[in-house]
């Protein structure tokens, strides 16, 4: 065993002296503190309880304030910004309904480990608990879905609270932090004391590497004949993609990711299995479940990945490296849990591989390790490729996304939630992290359009396309007004099947195709699969977009798709492309909820076949 490296001597630096500010209001102190944290963007919708903060924001030369048209849209936009940059997104609403409108995005950020600071105005302190106009207990409401939250009761605490909030949101396992600020605190005049030092007892986001455990990983690798890396969003949060790629190439281990981990490992790499789980590739699911060693890196063993969790990777040795102790052995008991920053752990594992004689293997060279295992995976890839059943004139949704990919392979993609979300992950290939921005854990419809706004502001030189569904996009369609007013040239590709497609898919599998409120068009009309009668297509997105002064065109025929995609990508302003697709298409492959990889569905099946396959009652 190699000698443990000597730790660097710890030198305690002198704390930075506190900086005394000039006399200002609590609201001005908040803005000044955000500037000191490097905040350059906030999505904020004003109201009576947050007006003082908005007044202070008008005087900031650093922070751009974007006015969304709904607080949920603004907070999803802040998430989009956070997901593409790794910095905390910032959003704000007033008290009561303004605050509660942000809760879905806060919960979304919590489940997807997205750094977010959500600020809410609150009624004056003497009115709290009295049922005042627009009063809600936002602190109490958000307790289950935040990493931490604050109710500010003393204006002198603002510098400390803001410093802590951004530190907590962005360190360790990232997540949302709420600052609830009563109006009297915002209006109070104080001379603030700005302190950079943080002292949070009990919060230790930095982890010491367990050298013995990491050496045990190397030992397990040497014994393994069928290793697989199962990588999640933790790789992206830790900025560990380079370390992961080096580790995979040194050990010659195939890599599969979760939806949140898409892009953490280049999907064109020969070692890539793309993503696994309910709608993942057959070969990724096979490999993860038949591996004798599963290296789970920055993952949480979500049910959409594992299916029947007790059967997931049941015959393999599992190593789980994660920074969050609460995830260790929570969903799946593992042989070797390692509590660590996954970037630091992989960097050290690469050093140990080098010492053990594992040289970095070229991605173009044939594997020299685990050759039988690689041959088996190659066969699975050959036998079970990603596919769809094309038609002569109808536009299949998979075809539309594939053509978008062929036209521009360097897009930032956001999505809503539904079938289009899965197809986007399947048919657009990602080579880099922070390019696939989607609501994975909470599955929030309406996420894609506002998230695209945040992503585009963060990277104005990148093309950002929201691949959305006609049901999902409608939930925050008002943010087109934000795109126009703020000159944010996002693109929206609507895969319009006039239905809630994912629910329809389950209706086909379980309920004899009985439509239970999943038809989104005018109920008095009959669905026209050819879309020849455009008068019954509802909502009429081209007309709706015209009201927002957004260019929109509807495409029905296959021959018109690629030219329209080119026009969309070339546009220098917000642009919506409404592509009519058949509602009968299913997302495949599919592992029905609560089942195993052996129950995977790869061909279109009817109700009887679904019953025979044992599709369970629960999704």
CA–CA gap between residue 161 and residue 182 (Å, rounded): 14
Query: Could you tell me if 468 and 575 lie in one domain?
Result: yes
Type and span of the H or E element at 82: helix 71-85
Q: Token pair for residue 293? A: 């060693």
- Mind spelling out the 3-state secondary structure of 417-439? CCHHHHHHHHHCCCCCCCCEECC
pLDDT more than 90, % of the chain: 87
Question: Do residues 436 and 236 lie in contact, with contact meaning Cβ atoms separated by under 8 Å?
Answer: no
List the catalytic residue out of 71, 79, 135, 290: 71
Cα–Cα dist 75/189, whole Å: 29
588 within domain boundaries: no
Among 27, 37, 53, residue whose Cα is nearest residue 155:
27
**Do both 413 and 519 map to the same domain?**
yes
pLDDT of residue 9: 41
| Domain end among 169, 194, 219 | 194
**CATH at 520:** 3.40.50.970
Q: Given this model, what pLDDT does residue 191 score?
A: 96
pLDDT at 15 over 70: no
The catalytic residue among 55, 134, 376, 403 is: 134
**DSSP state, residue 522:** -
Last residue of a domain, one of 383, 412, 435: 383
Which of 89, 86, 98 shows the shortest CA–CA distance to 54? 98
E runs forming strands in 183-299: 189-190, 193-194, 227-231, 255-257, 272-275, 293-297
- With the C-alpha atoms ordered 287, 289, 292, 297, is the resulting torsion angle positive or negative? positive
How many domains is the chain built from? Answer: 3
How far, in Å, CA of 357 to CA of 1, rounded? 13
Residues 469, 551, single domain; the answer is yes
Phi first, then psi, for residue 54 (nearest 5°) are -65, -40
Tell me the pLDDT band of 609, cut-offs 50, 70 and 90: very low
**6: pLDDT strictly greater than 70:** no
Residue ranges making up the domain that contains 293: 211-383
Containing 31, the helix (H) or strand (E) segment is: helix 26-36
Q: Reduced to 3 states, what is the DSSP secondary structure of residue 468?
A: strand
267 near 431, Cβ under 8 Å? yes
Residue 533 pLDDT: 83
383, 409, 429 - which closes a domain: 383
| Same domain flag for 416 and 447 | yes
* Helix (H) or strand (E) run with residue 371 in it: helix 371-383
How far apart are the C-alpha atoms of 150 and 78, rounded to whole Å? 19
Set 502, 568, 590, 595: catalytic member: 502
DSSP state of 209: -
Q: Are 382 and 280 in contact (CB under 8 A)?
A: no
Residue 390 within a domain: no
Residues 414 and 563 in one domain: yes
Q: Which of 32, 147, 183, 381 is catalytic?
A: 183
Nearest-10 crossing angle of helices 561-570, 397-407: 50
Q: Return the half-sphere exposure (C-beta side, CA atoms, 13 A cut-off) of residue 488.
A: 27
Task: Extract the tokens encoding 31.
Answer: 């803005």
> Do 233 and 139 belong to one domain?
no
Q: Which of 316, 315, 318 is nearest to 333 (CA)?
A: 318
Tell me whether residue 139 is one of the annotated catalytic residues: no
Longest dimension (CA), the chain: 76
3-state secondary structure of 135: coil
Q: What is the C-alpha to C-alpha distance for residues 571 and 403, in angstroms, rounded to an integer?
A: 17
Same domain flag for 180 and 233: no
Which range has the worst mean pLDDT, 326-335, 438-447, 530-539? 530-539
**Residue 133 is a catalytic residue:** yes
In a domain, 600, yes or no: no
502 flagged as catalytic: yes
Among residues 455, 461, 421, the alpha carbon closest in space to that of 435 is found at 455
| Average pLDDT rounded to a whole number, residues 590-609 | 82
Tell me: the pLDDT tens digits for 506-545? 999 889 889 999 999 887 777 888 888 888 888 999 999 9
Q: Are residues 40 and 183 in the same domain?
A: yes
Residue 606: the pLDDT is 58
State both tokens at 391.
Answer: 């038609």
* Distance from C-alpha of 320 to C-alpha of 99, rounded to nearest angstrom: 37
> Is the same domain home to 371 and 452?
no
Give mean pLDDT, residues 464-489.
98
Distance, in Å, from the CA atom of 438 to the CA atom of 403, rounded to the nearest integer, reads 20
Asked whether residue 126 is domain-assigned, the answer is yes
Helix axis angle, 342-355 to 241-251, nearest 10°:
30
Question: How is 40-75 classified by DSSP, letter by letter?
Answer: -EEEE---TTTHHHHHHHTT-SSPEEE--SSHHHHH
Residue 8 has pLDDT above 50, yes or no: no
The DSSP 8-state label assigned to residue 533 in this structure reads -
In a domain, 1, yes or no: no
Rounded-to-integer distance, Cα 142 and Cα 491, Å: 33
When pLDDT is cut at 50, 70 and 90, the band that residue 330 belongs to is very high
Least confident span in 93-102, 191-200, 257-266, 400-409: 191-200
Cβ atoms of 592 and 602 within 8 Å: the answer is no
Angstrom CA distances, 386 to 206, 218, 281, 389, stand at 40, 33, 7, 11
Which candidate in 133, 208, 223, 359 is catalytic? 133
The CATH number given to whatever domain includes residue 329 is 3.40.50.1220
Which whole-number Å values give the CA distances from 361 to 28, 271, 296, 377, 436, in the listed order?
Answer: 55, 11, 21, 18, 27
Length reported for the chain? 619
Q: Indicate whether 448 and 375 sit together in one domain.
A: no
Q: Give the pair of three-digit tokens for residue 505.
A: 């898919």
Q: Are 382 and 235 in contact (CB under 8 A)?
A: no
Is 601 a domain residue? no
Q: For residue 450, is it within any domain?
A: yes
The proportion of the chain whose per-residue pLDDT surpasses 70, expressed as a percent, equals 95
Instruction: Check residue 96 and give left, alpha or beta (phi > 0: left; psi -120 to 50: alpha).
Output: left
Distance CA 341, CA 157 (A): 31
One domain for residues 189 and 215: no
DSSP string covering 319-365, please? EEEES-GGGTTTSS--SEEEES-HHHHHHHHHHHHHHTT-PPPPTTS
Q: Is 360 a member of any domain?
A: yes
For the chain, the average pLDDT equals 93
The pLDDT tens digits of the residues spanning 337-365 come to 999 999 999 999 999 999 999 999 999 99
**Which distant-in-sequence residues (6+ apart) come within 8 Å of 596 by Cβ?**
289, 307, 308, 311, 312
Is a pLDDT exceeding 60 seen at residue 12?
Answer: no
Q: What is the predicted pLDDT for the residue at 16?
A: 65
532 catalytic, yes or no? Answer: no
Strands 193-194 and 19-20, by their bridges, are antiparallel
pLDDT tens-digit series, residues 567-585: 999 999 999 999 999 999 9
Distance CA 75, CA 103 (A): 9
Q: In sequence order, which ranges of 441-575 are alpha helices (DSSP H)?
A: 448-458, 470-474, 479-485, 501-510, 541-547, 561-570
CB 440 within 8 A of CB 110: no
Are residues 281 and 330 both part of a single domain? yes
Of 116, 107, 181, the residue nearest 144 (C-alpha):
107
């Amino acid at each position: 065993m190699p000698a443990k490296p000597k730790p660097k001597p710890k030198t305690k630096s002198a704390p930075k002296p506190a900086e005394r500010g000039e006399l200002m209001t609590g609201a001005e102190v908040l803005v000044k503190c955000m500037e000191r944290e490097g905040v350059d963007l906030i999505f904020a919708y004003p109201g009576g309880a947050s007006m003082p903060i908005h007044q202070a924001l008008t005087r900031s030369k650093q922070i751009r304030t974007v006015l969304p048209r709904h607080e949920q849209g603004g907070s999803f936009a802040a998430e989009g910004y956070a997901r593409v940059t790794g910095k905390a997104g910032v959003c704000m609403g007033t008290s009561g309904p303004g605050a509660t409108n942000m809760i879905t995005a806060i919960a979304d950020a919590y489940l997807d480990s997205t750094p977010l600071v959500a600020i809410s105005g609150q009624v004056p302190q003497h009115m709290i608990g009295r049922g005042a106009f627009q009063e809600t207990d936002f602190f109490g409401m958000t307790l289950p879905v935040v990493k931490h939250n604050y109710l500010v009761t003393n204006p002198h605490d603002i510098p400390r609270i803001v410093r802590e909030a951004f530190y907590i949101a962005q360190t360790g396992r990232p997540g949302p932090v709420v600052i609830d600020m009563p109006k009297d605190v915002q209006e109070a005049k104080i001379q603030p004391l700005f302190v950079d030092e943080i002292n949070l007892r009990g919060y230790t986001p930095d982890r010491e590497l367990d050298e013995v455990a990491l050496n045990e990983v190397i030992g397990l690798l040497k014994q393994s004949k069928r290793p697989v890396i199962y990588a999640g969003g933790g790789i992206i949060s830790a900025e560990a993609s380079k370390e992961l790629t080096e580790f995979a190439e040194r050990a010659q281990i195939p890599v599969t990711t979760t939806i949140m981990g898409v892009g953490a490992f280049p999907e064109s790499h020969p070692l890539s299995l793309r993503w696994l789980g309910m709608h993942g590739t057959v070969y990724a699911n096979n490999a993860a479940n038949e591996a004798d060693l599963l290296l789970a890196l920055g993952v949480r063993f979500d049910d959409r990945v594992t299916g029947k969790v007790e059967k997931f990777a049941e015959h393999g040795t599992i190593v789980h490296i994660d920074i969050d102790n609460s995830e260790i052995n929570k969903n799946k008991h593992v042989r070797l849990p390692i509590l660590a920053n996954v970037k630091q752990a992989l960097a050290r594992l690469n050093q140990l591989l080098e010492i053990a004689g594992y040289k970095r293997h070229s991605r173009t060279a044939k594997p020299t390790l685990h050759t039988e295992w690689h041959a088996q995976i190659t066969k699975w890839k050959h036998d079970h490729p990603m596919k769809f059943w094309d038609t002569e004139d109808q536009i299949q949704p998979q075809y539309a996304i594939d053509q978008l990919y062929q036209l521009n392979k360097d897009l930032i993609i956001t999505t809503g939630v539904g079938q289009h979300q899965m197809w986007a992950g399947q048919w657009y290939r990602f080579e880099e992290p922070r390019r696939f921005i989607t609501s994975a854990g909470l599955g929030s419809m309406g996420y894609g359009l506002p998230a695209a706004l945040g992503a585009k502001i963060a990277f104005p030189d990148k093309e950002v396309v929201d691949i959305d569904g006609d049901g999902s996009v409608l939930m925050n369609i008002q943010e087109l007004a934000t795109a126009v007013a703020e000159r944010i040239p996002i693109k929206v590709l609507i895969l319009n099947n006039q239905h809630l497609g994912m629910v329809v898919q389950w209706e086909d599998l379980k309920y004899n195709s009985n439509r239970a409120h999943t038809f989104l068009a005018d109920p008095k009309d009959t669905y026209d699969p050819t879309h020849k009668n455009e008068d019954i297509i509802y909502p009429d997105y081209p007309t709706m977009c015209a009201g927002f002064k957004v260019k929109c065109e509807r495409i029905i025929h296959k021959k018109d798709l690629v030219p329209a995609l080119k026009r969309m990508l070339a546009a220098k302003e917000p642009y919506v492309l409404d592509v009519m697709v058949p509602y009968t298409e299913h997302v495949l492959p599919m592992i029905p909820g609560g089942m195993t990889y052996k129950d995977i569905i790869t061909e279109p099946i009817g109700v009887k076949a679904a019953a025979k396959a044992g599709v369970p009652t629960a999704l």
